[in-house]
Amino acid sequence: MELIDTHSHIYYDKYTDINEVLDRARDNNISKIICVGVDIESSYKSITLAEKYDMIYATAGFHPHESKDAKKNYIKELENLLSHEKVVALGEIGLDFFYKHSDKETQINIFEEQLLLAKSLDIPCIIHNRESDKELINSINKTKNNNGVIHCFASNLDLAKQLIKLGFHLSFTGLITFAKELKHVIKNIPIEKIMIETDSPYLTPIPHRGKRNEPYMVKYIAMKIAKIKNIPFEEVATQTTKTAKEFFDI
Ligand SMILES: [Zn+2]
């Protein structure tokens, strides 16, 4: 049995106990962890972790929150980071019109520039989407890039089906252990299109709400999917691991 945490931010200071965090992950059959950058600095930190630990892989990209800070030459810098052998995706990129830490126009520009970069390098994308369903589809259609996963999927079944039809995968976090409306989405999409993630240190799943999240807790997300779909836990583990390995080529 094997599980993969496809999205974590374990480069934060909160993880001074990283060796124990990874031991707990191994003890719980987590074979690989993807550490996701949100700007140039955190992408470097993710790569440093990936160089140090076999089971960790990295990504590089500009999160919508940070897109206002992207420098003129950021595409060149990203291109350079993406050539590293342990960098497996461009991300996290996307749109967030809930927090609006960066203005809408900047977010859309930076998102589309990165979608085009990923397309030209033939590397998959990790996409964040919050209260921006319409604009997300617009940018995807405009750039014609459909090689991606929508991380922490939290929209409705209509959007889920639309994205799957376009070729995207959907990834679920601990949110599904307490946000009841996502049950309907999970029930009605194929298991082959699903990946699992913790988004550590955020979104700690039940039964550990209130504590720091960490990669081993991805098992609770797999358990919840098994329960919702009424299939064995092992089947969720096998299928989501297979999907993640193919998607990230790891
Ligand atoms: Zn994230």
How does the average pLDDT of the chain come out, rounded?
97
**Rounded distance from Cα 72 to ligand 1 centre (Å):** 24
Expressed in angstroms, the distance from the first to the final Cα of the chain is 17
Q: How many angstroms separate the alpha carbon of residue 213 from the centre of ligand 1?
A: 12
Please tell me the predicted confidence (pLDDT) of residue 203.
96
The C-alpha R_g of the chain, in whole angstroms, comes to 17
Q: Given this model, what pLDDT does residue 100 score?
A: 84
Distance from residue 92's CA to the centre of ligand 1 (Å)? 7
Total-model pTM: 0.97
DSSP 189: S
What confidence score (pLDDT) does residue 49 get? 98
Alpha carbon distance 200, 35 (integer Å): 9
Instruction: Please list, in sequence order, all residues whose beta carbon lies within 8 angstroms of the beta carbon of residue 246, skipping any fewer than 6 positions away.
Output: none
pLDDT at 46 over 90: yes
Query: Rounded distance, CA 247 to CA 230, Å?
Result: 25
Q: What is the pLDDT of residue 51?
A: 98
The pLDDT value given to residue 43: 98
How far, in Å, from the CA of 129 to the mean position of ligand 1?
Answer: 11
Cα 231 to ligand 1 centroid, rounded to whole Å: 28
Average pLDDT over residues 122-143: 97
What local confidence, expressed as pLDDT, does residue 111 receive? 98
- 93 C-alpha vs ligand 1 centroid, how far in Å? 9
**CA 8 to ligand 1 centroid distance, Å:** 6
Residues 151-185: tens digit of each pLDDT:
999 999 999 999 999 999 999 999 999 999 999 99
- Cα(59) to ligand 1 centroid in Å equals 11
36 CA to centre of ligand 1 in angstroms? 7
Report the alpha-carbon distance of residue 198 to residue 164 in Å, rounded. Answer: 21
Closest CA to 171 of 87, 82, 244, 86: 244
Distance in Å, CA 57 to ligand 1 centroid: 14
Residue 62 token pair: 């500009």
- Give the chain's largest Cα–Cα span: 50
Compute the average pLDDT of residues 91-102. Answer: 93
Residue 90 parent element (H or E): strand 87-96
From the CA of 128, how far away is ligand 1's center (Å)? 8
pLDDT score of 160: 98
Say how many Å lie between the CA of residue 89 and the centre of ligand 1: 13
Residue-wise pLDDT tens digits, 23-39: 999 999 999 999 999 99
